[in-house]
Chain A
Amino acid sequence: MTATTEIAPVVSARRFAGLREFWHYFSQSRGAVLGLIIFVLLILIALAAPLIAPHAPNEQFKPLFLLPPAWSPGGDPRFLLGTDPVGRDILSRLIFGSQFSLLIGVIVVTLSVLGGITLGLLAGYFRGWVDVVIMRIMDLILAFPPLLLALVLVTILGPGLINAMLAIALTLQPYFARLVRAAVMSEKNREYVTSARLAGAGHLRLMVLTILPNTLAPLIVQATLCFSDAILAAAALGFLGLGAQPPTPEWGTMLANAREFIQRAPWVVTFPGLCILVTVLAINLIGDGLRDALDPKLKRS
């Protein structure tokens, strides 16, 4: 599920002149711009959820179970996309679900990036046995298929959204660690670093302030990849019943409860999956655009 951006040889990030130049390259891809628009819309929906959702996501409107969408016979205009088996409005749950999906993406990526940067910096900068130990552990994590590892971790930690996020963050972290390590190793011997060191900069300063900013480009691209992976993985765990627990309106969890209604009420199945697809698609489009803009050697368009 996760592709890595190329690690070796790492192409040095272009020191782009500014946001304008970046935007010029980014906007050349219509897909990327479309993705950005959708993503921004999603963020707005997530932020404005309490305002725009017609009902509370967990409010049960008994006995209006399994109403079809408003445009179908038997539908109710109060519940635009119908109701679920417990009488909750699907549209409202989808809207609030966007909060969860974006939150999952943000938290998981933040955790993975922080962890990965720390480990990558330490490994790439200090080399020696620090490097060996850290990289072996990263290899170990990568030896397991990510979903399997996440499943096992959730088994240990217990089901729930927070545990699912922790588990997924752990499985995605090695990608960042490797990336940062490789970038650090290649940047470490550049002139600007040497001159900074001669000027008296300490290890920490060198690592964080000098080298790190130049590794940002592949990091950002990887972050968008992991963002979409995190959403898919959390949805998968929710679908298996190990992620967000009912009544949380997470899109994957909504699908888990909907399987028995495939024949009778297919709208309960269709809409949550569609939301996941659109969200992940938007992020992947952005990711492609970013890659093209930041790293012309890997251009795809």
Chain B
Amino acid sequence: MKFAKTLLTAAALAVVLGGSAYAKTLVYCSEASPANFDPGTTTGGNDYDAGARTVYNRLVEFKHGSTEVEPGLAESWDISADGLTYTFHLRKGVKFGTTDFFTPTRDFNADDVIFSFMRQQDDKSPWFTYLPNLSYDYYVGMDMPKYTKEWKKVDDYTVQLTLTEPNAPMLANMAMDFASILSKEYADKLQAANTMPDLAAKPVGTGPFVFVDYQLDTTIRYKANPDYWAGKVKLDDLIFQITPDATTRLQKVQSGECDVMAYPNPADIPAIKADTNLTTYSMAGLNVGYMSYNTTQPPFDKPEVRHALNMAIDRDALIKSLFQDAGAVAADNLIPPTMWSWNKDVKFDKYDPEAAKKILADNGVTKIDLWASDRSRPYNPNFARAAELIQADWAKVGVTANITTEEWTKYRADGKKADRPGAFQIGWSGDNGDPDNFFATLFSCSAVGVSNYSSWCNKDFEADIQKAKTNSDMAARTKAYEDAQVIFNKEAPAFLLAHSQVYVVTDKKVTGYTQDPLAMHRFDNVDVTE
């Protein structure tokens, strides 16, 4: 008996040791090239998948598969009773990754935290403008400059953030990608060598993977960080294959060239579900697709005109064409039904082209600009097709739509301009599970020109969301958001499309993958069985 046990153990050991002789590689078919690897300067999910979630960590992290936070680079934290002071106790012995372009000489400490945040608001810092055309969109969009009174280094492993006023979601904000912690030592070295753009091209972080190489528009390579503070991950190598075409992504997973892909074509969902070699993950997305009217430009400054345009669109057919079998819920509110404070009594405009026609004729609305982009998003798989369908619907009520199509990065840059004409298709995937992240980021007054594509500033709405932001009492917050949704419905600054189901498709040899409601694709807990 004992002999058999020993034999079994020996056999098991042999298998394990023999198996580990092969490097475990995972290939992720990513949907777009990252603009760069500095999470403070970028805003796309693809940018964060490639940079923030592989190479970096944050003070707190979202638990896998949830919107709750858990300790990250901060082991623990205290929040003062007045909600103004956050004290973070930092983890000791955390090492930044060693690459062939940088070897850290010290562990992670408070200096890195302060640097990572302050460079995004201190206009005296050379890092504030170290890239051409740089803007720290998320930092500004989350109102960090407004709320940050001071970051203080108490000692090497304790750092304190003092706010100007209470902000209930602030802890969740610390888990977001823009709050990734960079290496100040690396930044100083680059500044001295006058190669500052490398901070965004060759990232150094404390994360589960270390950056190896980026072949423009083709391949990103990482290897596992051997000194990762949470323990080396199961994978040895991680490769991103940049494949913008969704059909190609699926074909690659089916053929084995890639192991994981996201954002499949809705048209392919039935085939994917039927394929026994693939594992399909799906969940209700924390997202919303919508189309912003520019509420500062007549005649779209009138809510009744906006309502009429909404009523003219056959939303059910639109959703069916765009999402087919992929599952999408028509949106009544900005936030999805799965989010707390969703107001079930609010209903979106009903399809009524006759009534719409009359209102539009009365207001003399005959033309409108309609915007579309070439990128497929989880909340809108095909902007161009949606535009064609909407164009036809509006034509039936006497409004001629002129479609402008632009590449994704330029699209968003042009869309947020205050003088952008017409209806702009866009959407949002939640970053931290808090309704503030939807309402404030997308429709607050301070977001005009940043991420408020409707240029809409409504004082009642603003009052509601500010109240909810500063109050940490859940019941009070819920009530404020419910009221905000009523106002939004009445004013109709945007046409609401749908909340979609999000999918991730993997080869069945991939194990341990958890789908995140915040549309992140993380590989630190993933394994491949050979």
Direct contact between A and B judged by beta carbons closer than 8 A: yes
B163 CB-CB contact with A under 8 Å: no
Interface residues of B in 238-277 (CB under 8 A from A): 245-247, 250-251, 265, 267-268, 271
CA–CA, A247 and B390, complex, Å: 12
Contacts of B374 in A (CB 8 A): 241
CA–CA, A86 and B392, complex, Å: 10
Instruction: Determine if A60 and B405 form an interchain contact, defined as CB atoms under 8 angstroms apart.
Output: no
CB distance from A148 to the nearest CB of B (A): 19
Contacts of B392 in A (CB 8 A): 58, 60, 86, 247
CB distance from B515 to the nearest CB of A (A): 23
CB distance from B351 to the nearest CB of A (A): 11
Instruction: Determine if B265 and A260 form an interchain contact, defined as CB atoms under 8 angstroms apart.
Output: yes
B388 CB-CB contact with A under 8 Å: yes
Instruction: Determine if A85 and B245 form an interchain contact, defined as CB atoms under 8 angstroms apart.
Output: no
Contacts of A261 in B (CB 8 A): 247, 265, 267
Chain A minimum-CB-distance residue to B381: A260
| A259 contact from B245, B271, B316, Cβ within 8 A | B245
* Known contacts A65-B321, A86-B388, A260 near B403 by CB under 8 Å: no
B324 CB-CB contact with A under 8 Å: yes
| B384 contact from A58, A60, A246, A265, Cβ within 8 A | A246
Chain B minimum-CB-distance residue to A256: B384
Instruction: Determine if B385 and A257 form an interchain contact, defined as CB atoms under 8 angstroms apart.
Output: yes
Contacts of A262 in B (CB 8 A): 247
| A62 contact from B271, B320, B384, Cβ within 8 A | B320
Instruction: Determine if A263 and B250 form an interchain contact, defined as CB atoms under 8 angstroms apart.
Output: yes
| A264 contact from B267, B385, B403, Cβ within 8 A | B267
CB distance from B258 to the nearest CB of A (A): 16
B314 CB-CB contact with A under 8 Å: yes
CA–CA, A212 and B265, complex, Å: 57
CA–CA, A5 and B392, complex, Å: 47
Chain B minimum-CB-distance residue to A61: B317
Main secondary structure of the interface of A (DSSP, over half): loop
CB distance from A259 to the nearest CB of B (A): 7
Main secondary structure of the interface of B (DSSP, over half): helix
CB distance from A92 to the nearest CB of B (A): 15
**How many residues on the B side are at the interface (Cβ–Cβ under 8 A)?**
25
Instruction: Determine if B271 and A260 form an interchain contact, defined as CB atoms under 8 angstroms apart.
Output: no
CB distance from B490 to the nearest CB of A (A): 29
* Known contacts A62-B314, A65-B324, A263 near B251 by CB under 8 Å: yes
B389 CB-CB contact with A under 8 Å: yes
A74 CB-CB contact with B under 8 Å: no
Instruction: Determine if A62 and B321 form an interchain contact, defined as CB atoms under 8 angstroms apart.
Output: yes
A31 CB-CB contact with B under 8 Å: no
* Per-position 1/0 for B300-320, Cβ under 8 A of A: 000000000000001011001
Chain A minimum-CB-distance residue to B317: A62
CA–CA, A115 and B324, complex, Å: 50
CA–CA, A163 and B317, complex, Å: 34
A18 CB-CB contact with B under 8 Å: no
Instruction: Determine if A263 and B384 form an interchain contact, defined as CB atoms under 8 angstroms apart.
Output: no
A66 CB-CB contact with B under 8 Å: yes
Contacts of B320 in A (CB 8 A): 62-63, 65
Instruction: Determine if B247 and A85 form an interchain contact, defined as CB atoms under 8 angstroms apart.
Output: no
Interface residues of A in 94-108 (CB under 8 A from B): none
* Per-position 1/0 for B363-403, Cβ under 8 A of A: 00000000000100000001011001101100000000001
- A to B CB contacts below 8 Å, 30 in the list: A60-B388, A60-B389, A60-B392, A62-B317, A62-B321, A62-B389, A63-B320, A65-B320, A65-B321, A65-B324, A66-B267, A86-B388, A241-B374, A245-B403, A246-B384, A246-B388, A247-B391, A247-B392, A257-B385, A259-B245, A260-B246, A260-B265, A261-B267, A263-B247, A263-B250, A263-B251, A263-B268, A263-B271, A264-B265, A264-B271
Q: Which 10 pairs show the lowest CB-CB distances between chains A and B?
A: A62-B317, A264-B267, A63-B320, A65-B321, A260-B265, A63-B317, A60-B392, A260-B247, A262-B247, A86-B388
Which residues in A have some Cβ–Cβ distance to B below 8 Å?
58, 60, 62-63, 65-66, 85-87, 241, 245-247, 257, 259-265
Which residues in B have some Cβ–Cβ distance to A below 8 Å?
245-247, 250-251, 265, 267-268, 271, 314, 316-317, 320-321, 324, 374, 382, 384-385, 388-389, 391-392, 403, 405
Given A247-B391, A259-B247, A264-B268, 18 other A-B residues pairs in contact with their CB atoms under 8 A: A58-B392, A60-B389, A60-B392, A62-B320, A62-B389, A65-B324, A66-B324, A85-B321, A85-B382, A86-B385, A246-B388, A247-B388, A247-B392, A260-B245, A261-B247, A261-B265, A261-B267, A262-B247
